[in-house]
């Protein structure tokens, strides 16, 4: 006599583990998509708030760039050009009542000049990121770089005159 196999689905350990892994991957994909959209929306809301705080009375020209800086406080840094000058506005994102801080630099493209000076003084260094920020009441340029040995370096320059303020090197001791 022949045994007939049942028509029901047989569950075994491999199928259960496989199904759980697929569900976990789908969960993480959907959660990361949701998290990305929330971060993007909050970033846009913050930038729109910054634009609204900078009324037409404050800015005479168009905005060139808006970046973020996490120093003593969380700032949006708004960069504008006015003839031969560069103007940076620092808008505090935590304290909405705080006044907008502005710094006029008497030369065009001050950040690019500081970065080119940095590159010429340090060979075998790749620049990872450049930020404009505020330390106390002094506008600074933060240059994040990495050398060929893997050391990560943070250098801070005064934005107004390009002088070196301070620096920090984080060495990779895993070698």
In a domain, residue 39? The reply is yes
Q: Per residue in 127-172, pLDDT tens?
A: 898 888 888 888 888 999 988 888 888 999 988 888 888 888 888 7
Same domain, 114 and 42: no
Could you tell me if 45 and 60 lie in one domain?
Answer: no
In a domain, 7, yes or no: no
In a domain, 38, yes or no: yes
Is 175 within a domain?
Answer: no
Whether residue 123 sits in one domain with residue 74: yes
Cα–Cα distance list, 103 to 6, 62, 77, 125 (Å): 80, 16, 11, 30
CA distances, 18 to each of 22, 75, 85, 122 (Å): 6, 47, 62, 52
Is 39 in the same domain as 88? Answer: no
A 10 A CB-CB count for 147 gives 16
Domain with 20, as residue range(s), is 12-53
Decide: helix, strand or coil at residue 157: strand
Residue-wise pLDDT for 29-86, tens only, equals: 999 999 999 888 776 777 777 877 777 556 655 777 777 777 777 888 888 877 778 8
CB atoms within 10 A of CB 157: 24
Asked whether the CA dihedral 28, 34, 37, 43 is positive or negative, the reply is negative
Q: Are residues 68 and 119 in the same domain?
A: yes
Whether 87 maps to a domain, the answer reads: yes
The neighbour count for residue 17, using CB atoms within 10 Å, is 10
> Which pTM was predicted?
0.68
- What are φ and ψ of residue 161, in 5° steps? -120, -5
Counted domains in the chain: 2
Q: Has residue 132 been placed in a domain?
A: yes
Radius of gyration for the chain, computed over Cα atoms and rounded to the nearest angstrom: 26
Whether 111 and 161 share a structural domain: yes
Same structural domain, 48 and 60 = no
């Amino acid at each position: 006599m022949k045994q007939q196999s049942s028509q029901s689905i047989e569950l075994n350990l491999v199928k259960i583990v496989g199904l759980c892994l697929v569900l976990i991957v789908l969960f993480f994909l959907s959660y990361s998509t949701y998290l990305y959209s929330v971060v993007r929306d909050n970033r846009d809301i913050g930038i729109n708030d910054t634009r609204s705080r900078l009324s037409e009375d404050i800015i005479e020209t168009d905005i060139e760039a808006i970046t973020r800086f996490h120093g003593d406080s969380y700032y949006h840094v708004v960069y504008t050009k006015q003839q031969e000058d560069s103007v940076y506005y620092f808008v505090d994102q935590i304290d909405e009542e705080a006044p907008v801080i502005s710094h006029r630099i008497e030369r065009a493209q001050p950040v690019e000049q500081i970065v080119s000076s940095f590159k010429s003084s340090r060979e075998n260094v790749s620049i990872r990121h450049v930020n404009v920020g505020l330390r106390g009441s002094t506008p600074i340029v933060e240059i994040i770089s990495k050398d060929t040995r893997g050391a990560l370096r943070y250098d801070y320059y005064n934005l107004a005159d390009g002088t070196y303020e301070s620096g920090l090197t984080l060495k990779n001791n895993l070698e």
